[in-house]
Amino acid sequence: HSRTPPHDNSHPRRSPHGSDKEDYCCPLSKEIMKALIHAGFERPPPLETYDGQSDPDEHIDNINVILDFCMVSGAIRCRLFSTILRKGAMTWYQSLAPQSVSSWKDLT
């Protein structure tokens, strides 16, 4: 039994020229999104969420300590970042231009 949801043919297909809304619109670059997650990191360590109310530099410092310990690359840090954002911080992240983030430094 397949876990893949059935295909819904009622939605239009993507344009061969890549101009549809379905195109990649995440702030992270395609290269970051393609970065491989190393073995053993399928379940990242628990990271404190951030809602934009406390000191962002302190929050980033705390994340860096944990991810340095786990030897997590910059690309994977970028991919993890959005998973811990809440409220105003998520609003900020979602306001970033598509594919405008190409490094961890771009986010921090």
Determine the Cα–Cα distance for residues 102 and 32; give it in Å rounded to an integer: 7
**Residue 82, amino acid:** S
* pLDDT given for residue 42 in this prediction: 79
Determine the Cα–Cα distance for residues 9 and 6; give it in Å rounded to an integer: 9
Determine the Cα–Cα distance for residues 44 and 6; give it in Å rounded to an integer: 30
Please, are residues 77 and 35 in contact by the beta-carbon 8 Å criterion? no
**What pTM does this model have?**
0.74
Q: Which residues pair with 12 in a beta bridge?
A: none
Question: Three-state SS for 82?
Answer: helix
Both tokens of 15, joined, read 């344009």
Both tokens of 93, joined, read 């992240």
pLDDT tens for the chain, 108 residues: list them. Answer: 444 444 444 443 333 444 444 455 899 999 999 999 888 777 888 999 999 999 999 999 999 999 999 999 999 999 999 999 999 999 999 999 999 999 999 999
